[in-house]
A and B are shown apart, each in its own frame.
Chain A
Amino acid sequence: MVKAINNALDIKLNEDEGVVVYGEDVGVEGGVFRVTEGLQRKYGVERVFDSPLAESGIVGTALGMAVSGLRPIVELQFEGFTYPAFNQIASNVSRMQNRSRGKFSVPMVIRFPYGGGINALEHHSDSPEALYAHIPGLKVVVPSTPYDAKGLLISAIESNDPVVFMEPKRIYRAIKQEVPDEKYSLPLGKAKVIQDGSDVTVVAFGALIRECQKAIAMAEEAGISVELVDLRTIYPIDRETIRNSVRKTGRMVVVAEAHESFSVGSELIAITNEEAFLYLEAPPRRVMGFDTIVPLAQGEKYFIISPERIFYEIEKTFNF
């Protein structure tokens, strides 16, 4: 996935002179995960560069660039370090277009790795998608495969609205997939049915798609047919795909790593109730992180959602 994202940045830097890429350690080092590796050498320090260590500054200056003719793509090093930039994101990036009555649009992308499962120190394991999806005026995207990452990032860069692009760091290098060299894009706001099924709908995104696929194999052995929906875009959410799937299966399990309360899972269940209430055979269910800080490595096994736990919930929902 690291290579696919690098390739998307490369394509856009190459075809659009307005694209600039910056953040902490993004230039010489190529990012701590090497996502921007080689780009400074190729496009020069004016277009791909290291910023001072100040997340609020990174995002705030990007807003300035975005309203004045550039398309900045900024990297924040880890999701836990997006919080110093939260004020700029919530108070300005998301609001400028509305505040200026459309005089200024804000074509910028804020990229950052998110999620647990890498035995990290504190602030390196959070899943804050609901925080950003809750802010009006932002699009929030989470790819689950290298192919999707490239296509979605190209759309994000070409979007005239600000996009928060969250990269599942646990599968940065874990999934190998052939990705075409040429440019292609995937629409924002469209979920994808990864696997058809008839008994239970499972909705997930990011790194947990892979865990769901393992759980679905267990469910199949138990004779349960599961439909897997990859949300891909958190906001705007693809209501239609969810409606169609839950009306078909009558059962819904949401799988995500973020804290359960007031989450994307909560939103999906609200949509399920609004769109498919009379079709439901069982209460919709969230398999999500606890309302706790993500534990350090020794305790993370309790927090990380295993295929076994997903299967347990699928089976419970099926047998309700």
Chain B
Amino acid sequence: MIQNNLPAIFRDFNPLEDKMLSVIDNEGHVVSKQYMPELDDETVIDAYKQMLYERTADEMAISYQRQGRMFTYTPNLGQEAIHIAAGMNIRREDWLVPAFREMGTLLAKGVTMKEMFLFYLGNEHGGSFQNAHHTLPIAISIGTQLHHATGIAYSVKYQKKDETVFTFIGDGGTSEGDFSEALNFAGVWQVPVVFTIQNNQYAISVPVKSQTKSINLAVKSVAFGIPGIKVDGNDFFAMYLAYKIAAAYTLSGKGPVLIEAFTYRLGAHTTSDDPTKYRKKEEEIEWGLTDPLIRLRHFMEKKGIWNIDPEKLTEEYKQQINQQFLDAEQNKSYPHEDVFKFMFSDMPDELKRQKTEYEQFLRWKENRK
């Protein structure tokens, strides 16, 4: 039934045949012209700039962490095409239900680097994303967020709103029960969710082949009766087209879509992780050739629209980002009240008692000095 209404792309890239949508190759040649999304030059330039901004912010975050100025951080290196393509297709009213490795999409929703830094400096205010409309906080407990996305999509359908829901999970997360359950719910309810699996090949140290015997991850959609497609996650144009079609499909009321974005985690799982323990340098070098920024730049150069001085622009971004980091770093305001006051809408007496007793201790401590 679904098959008849499906956009052609889902048939052309049937996950059961392990096909993958790519539009440009590593050197920036267009390999499948019919799937090149219609984008004007300015939009392509803007996409590159956004990807460069995310890359620069990421590298700076890693460096702040190494300098001991920030706590554990989860880098996005190598996955920028996915994040920016999603960000360019998610509208203000659409929902974003993130995992924890899609910074570019969060930025597109209006999250600032200052907030990101504040979060990784250990302040919950940073992670609340106050000014990002219809955006949930980061989900660290693997896979749980997919259910939330499905529930939001139910609300959207119930309230007859013209909105869709973007949500993300990693390759490792597809092993969690919540992944299968959420796809099942969304399929049964026919609600608008664009599920993205960012298949970056590793769940910390564990490779995809140790997670599943499936030929790919997009194929998991088949059992739940929803359309799925495997997309080259390091190809901005392929990701852009996939999101454009998926957003339109879900908004048309036909139900959810599963996108496997096939990519590579160029960096570590977090700054506490050391990938040299479990993967080879040659593999990293090989995947490095598919770097989404390099690919897009090659394309732009070939098309004659490359007008960016990347070093100059990176320097400009660095200054902006550093200022945001300094703003976050100087925000030392964490009153002890913040530990208590967001637990309930009305604080129970028991919690008030604990707070009062703690304040007595603080006074005692002060007097002792």
Task: Tell me if A's interface is mostly helix, strand, loop or mixed.
Answer: loop
The total of interchain contacts (Cβ-Cβ below 8 angstroms) comes to: 118
B255 sits at the interface (CB 8 A)? no
Whether A52 pairs with B339 at a CB distance below 8 angstroms is no
Chain A contacts of B142 at CB under 8 A? 53, 81
Q: Are B173 and A53 in contact (CB under 8 A)?
A: yes
Expressed in whole angstroms, the Cα–Cα distance for A84 and B206 within the complex equals 19
Name which of B205, B338, B364 has the most chain A CB atoms within 10 A of its CB: B205
Q: Are B140 and A122 in contact (CB under 8 A)?
A: yes
Cβ of A319 under 8 Å from chain B: no
- Known contacts A291-B350, A302-B339; is A84 also within 8 Å of B177 by CB? yes
Contacts A298-B123, A302-B339 given; indicate if A123 touches B141 (C-beta within 8 A).
yes
Which of A32, A54, A120 contacts B176, CB < 8 Å?
A54
User: Could you tell me the distance between the alpha carbons of A295 and B124 in the complex, rounded to whole angstroms?
Assistant: 8
A134 and B343 alpha carbons, distance in the complex (Å)? 24
- B124 touching A299, Cβ below 8 Å: yes
Verify A28–B361 contact, CB threshold 8 A: no
Q: Is B185 at the interface (CB under 8 A from chain A)?
A: no
A189 sits at the interface (CB 8 A):
no
A120: chain B residues at CB < 8 Å are: 71-72
- Min CB distance, A292 to chain B, in Å? 5
Q: Report chain B residues within 8 Å CB of A309.
A: 361
Q: Do the beta carbons of A312 and B141 come within 8 Å of each other?
A: no
Partner of B340, one of A84, A121, A292, A298: A292
> Which residue of the partner chain B has the closest CB to A291?
B351
Size band of the interface chain A makes with B? 35 or more
A302 touches B358 (CB 8 A): yes
Q: Are A119 and B206 in contact (CB under 8 A)?
A: no
Look across to chain A and name the residue whose beta carbon is closest to the beta carbon of B351: A291
List B contacts of A186 (CB < 8 A). none
Q: Are B334 and A298 in contact (CB under 8 A)?
A: yes
Say yes or no: A50-B205 contact (C-beta < 8 A), given A123-B141, A291-B350, A312-B361. yes
Interface residues of A in 256-315 (CB under 8 A from B): 260-261, 290-293, 295-300, 302-303, 308-309, 312
Q: How far does the alpha carbon of A296 sit from the alpha carbon of B350 in the complex, in Å?
A: 22
Complex: how many Å from CA A120 to CA B74?
12
Max count, chain A CB within 10 A of own CB: residue among B121, B206, B273, B364 = B206
- Chain A residues near B358 (CB, 8 Å)? 290, 302
A54 to B338, CA, bound (A): 33
A299–B339 CB distance below 8 A: yes
State the Cβ distance, A320 to closest chain B Cβ, in Å: 15
Bound-complex Cα distance A296 to B138 (A): 14
Whether B175 and A32, one on each chain, are in contact in the complex, defined by CB atoms closer than 8 angstroms, is no
Tell me the nearest residue of chain B to A55, going by C-beta. Answer: B176
Tell whether, in the assembled complex, residue B354 and residue A312 are in contact, meaning their CB atoms are under 8 Å apart.
no
B340 partner residues in chain A, CB cutoff 8 A? 290, 292
**Closest chain A CB from B190 CB (angstroms):** 27
Question: Are B71 and A53 in touch, CB under 8 angstroms?
Answer: no
Question: Which residues of chain B are near A54, meaning CB under 8 Å?
Answer: 175-177
| Chain B residues whose CB sits within 8 angstroms of the CB of A32 once the complex forms | 204, 272-273
Since A53-B176, A120-B71, A300-B122 are in contact, a sample of 17 more A-B pairs with Cβ atoms closer than 8 Å, ordered by chain A residue number, is A28-B206, A28-B277, A53-B173, A53-B206, A81-B142, A120-B72, A260-B354, A290-B355, A292-B340, A292-B351, A295-B334, A296-B119, A299-B123, A299-B338, A299-B339, A302-B358, A312-B365
A-B CB proximity, top 9 nearest: A297-B122, A29-B205, A52-B175, A53-B172, A296-B122, A298-B334, A298-B122, A54-B175, A53-B175
A-B residue pairs in contact (CB < 8 Å), sample of 11: A25-B205, A28-B277, A32-B273, A52-B211, A80-B140, A80-B141, A121-B71, A297-B121, A297-B123, A298-B332, A303-B339
Q: Which residues of chain B have a CB within 8 Å of any CB of chain A?
A: 71-72, 119, 121-124, 127, 140-142, 172-173, 175-178, 203-206, 210-212, 272-273, 277-278, 332, 334, 336, 338-340, 343, 350-351, 354-355, 358, 361, 364-365
